[in-house]
């Protein structure tokens, strides 16, 4: 492994930061990952299931030399999808073909483990929470909560939604999307709630309407994780009076918002376990760009936080990592050129994804989200039929 010009610091050991470290290491380039978590298993849950897109997430894993590990962990059947209205009417159902590798699902925890196992363990510094970064003539000084300071030539902010590196390149800040989630779940669902297991099936379910949604998904560990969505204002999660730390009362309070929804759907709330997570859905402005700055750049949510409604955030974090790593490889010792090449490509491919994430949020969590989704499917079906006609 060759060190040192430039010294590369990656702040954040999430999906983006780990992929970047891995691809650089595949090319013999050393980088140090500074992660705020105290240790690898410090966080009890790494989140839900992610569908990996061929042109971004899957491509990145190929560049990282991790296709075999990825294939061993994917669930192609997780692409199954059901759409319901609030009365419990099934409006649309899609079943994945056997071994369909279009957008197979993988649990975020499994993906993070694959990446973590692939990175030189000595290159990850745990318990390093960045509090401030300062640029000095193209170099950066990193200040950590433990009082230590490091200097680097190329600083990469892979530190997610509330990035401490972002202020070095832009004044933009995450804004509330107009939607809040309450994340709930049911563990070991096949054994404990077989009717709900059957309702959700192998993939994801969307029940939409009245500016709300109940959106469960099957995870690889036998758990159903569900996002209950509300189109409500930024402070709603703290002012609505739902006592999230008292799950029995919180379940009853959430159910009050769904009294005229089909009981078979609201059973997902009625029988959820005690893990309840309020999640405001935040996003950076759609179309955000900035002039390249010498020696510092961003990847993943730090660069383009978007709502999860296009299923793109993790895929883009992986793609950014690969694009930046390859730009570093192709411009040895020249961080300025590496950043310019990477950011030009990144801003272009991110734009349609962030537009889709914002558009889909508006469609889905709306007064008639079910009908809006049906209209979108109709459009996509027509485009697919046109494509088939053109191929003939």
Ligand X SMILES: Cc1cc2nc3c(=O)[nH]c(=O)nc-3n(C[C@H](O)[C@H](O)[C@H](O)COP(=O)(O)OP(=O)(O)OC[C@H]3O[C@@H](n4cnc5c(N)ncnc54)[C@H](O)[C@@H]3O)c2cc1C
Q: Which residues bind ligand X (CB under 6 A)?
A: 11-17, 34-37, 48, 50-51, 128-130, 158-160, 164, 181, 227, 279, 300-302, 308, 311-315, 317
Q: Indicate the residue among 88 and 176 with the shorter CB distance to ligand X.
A: 176
Tokens of 202: 């192998």
Give Cβ neighbours of residue 217 (< 8 Å, ≥ 6 apart): 48, 49, 78, 200, 203, 204, 205, 224, 225, 226
C-alpha 158/C-alpha 320 separation (Å) is: 10
Across 99-148, where does the E strand assignment appear?
105-107, 124-125, 130-136, 139-144
Task: Give the shortest CB-142-to-ligand X separation in angstroms.
Answer: 9
C-alpha 207/C-alpha 373 separation (Å) is: 10
Q: Indicate the residue among 61 and 130 with the shorter CB distance to ligand X.
A: 130
Task: Give the shortest CB-280-to-ligand X separation in angstroms.
Answer: 10
Task: Give the shortest CB-13-to-ligand X separation in angstroms.
Answer: 5
C-alpha 338/C-alpha 295 separation (Å) is: 9
DSSP 3-state of 88: coil
Task: Give the shortest CB-219-to-ligand X separation in angstroms.
Answer: 11
Q: Indicate the residue among 333 and 352 with the shorter CB distance to ligand X.
A: 352
Q: Indicate the residue among 275 and 371 with the shorter CB distance to ligand X.
A: 275
C-alpha 49/C-alpha 225 separation (Å) is: 9
Q: Indicate the residue among 1 and 145 with the shorter CB distance to ligand X.
A: 145
Q: Indicate the residue among 117 and 264 with the shorter CB distance to ligand X.
A: 117
Task: Give the shortest CB-166-to-ligand X separation in angstroms.
Answer: 11
108 phi/psi in degrees, rounded to 5: -60, -40
Give Cβ neighbours of residue 140 (< 8 Å, ≥ 6 apart): 9, 133, 134, 151, 152, 155, 168, 295, 296
Task: Give the shortest CB-207-to-ligand X separation in angstroms.
Answer: 17
Give the DSSP H or E segment for 229: strand 224-231
| Closest of 94, 139, 118 to residue 19, by C-alpha | 118
Instruction: Kindly give the interhelix angle for 335-364 and 313-330, rounded to the nearest 10 degrees.
Output: 170
Q: Indicate the residue among 77 and 159 with the shorter CB distance to ligand X.
A: 159
Task: Give the shortest CB-328-to-ligand X separation in angstroms.
Answer: 17
Q: Indicate the residue among 132 and 371 with the shorter CB distance to ligand X.
A: 132
Give Cβ neighbours of residue 80 (< 8 Å, ≥ 6 apart): 93, 94, 95, 96, 201, 202, 203, 204
Task: Give the shortest CB-391-to-ligand X separation in angstroms.
Answer: 29
């Amino acid at each position: 492994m060759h060190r040192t010009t430039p010294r590369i610091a990656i702040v954040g050991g999430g999906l983006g930061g780990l992929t970047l470290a891995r691809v650089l290491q595949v090319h013999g380039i050393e980088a140090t990952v500074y992660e705020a978590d105290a240790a690898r298993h410090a966080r009890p849950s790494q989140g839900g299931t992610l569908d990996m897109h061929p042109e971004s997430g899957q491509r990145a894993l190929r560049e990282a030399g991790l296709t075999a590990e990825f294939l061993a962990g994917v669930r192609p059947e997780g692409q199954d999808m059901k759409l319901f209205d609030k009365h419990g009417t099934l409006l649309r159902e899609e079943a994945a073909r056997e071994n369909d590798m279009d957008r197979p699902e993988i649990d975020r925890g499994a993906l993070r483990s694959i990446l973590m196992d692939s990175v030189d363990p000595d290159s990850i510094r745990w318990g390093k929470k960045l509090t401030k970064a300062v640029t000095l003539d193209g170099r950066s000084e990193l200040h950590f909560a433990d009082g230590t300071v490091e200097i680097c030539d190329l600083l990469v902010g892979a530190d997610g939604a509330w990035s401490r590196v972002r202020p070095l390149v832009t004044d933009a800040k995450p804004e509330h999307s107009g939607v809040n989630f309450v994340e709930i779940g049911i563990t070991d669902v096949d054994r404990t709630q077989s009717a709900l297991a059957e309702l959700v099936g192998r993939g994801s379910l969307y029940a939409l309407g009245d500016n709300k949604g109940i959106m469960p998904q099957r995870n690889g560990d036998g758990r159903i994780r569900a996002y209950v969505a509300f189109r409500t204002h930024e402070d709603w999660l703290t002012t609505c009076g739902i006592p999230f730390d008292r799950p029995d009362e919180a379940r009853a309070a959430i159910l009050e918002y769904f009294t005229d929804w089909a009981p078979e759907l609201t059973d997902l709330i009625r029988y959820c376990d005690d893990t309840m997570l309020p999640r405001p859905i935040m996003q950076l402005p759609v179309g955000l760009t900035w002039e390249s700055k010498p020696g510092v750049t961003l990847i993943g949510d730090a660069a383009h936080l978007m709502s999860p409604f296009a299923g793109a955030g993790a895929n883009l974090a992986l793609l950014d990592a690969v694009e930046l790593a390859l730009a570093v490889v192709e411009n040895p010792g020249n961080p300025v050129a590496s950043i310019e090449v990477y950011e030009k490509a990144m801003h272009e491919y991110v734009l349609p994804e962030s537009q889709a994430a914002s558009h889909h949020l508006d469609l889905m969590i709306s007064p008639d989200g079910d009908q809006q989704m049906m209209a979108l499917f109709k459009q996509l079906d027509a485009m697919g039929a046109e494509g088939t006609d053109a191929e003939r």
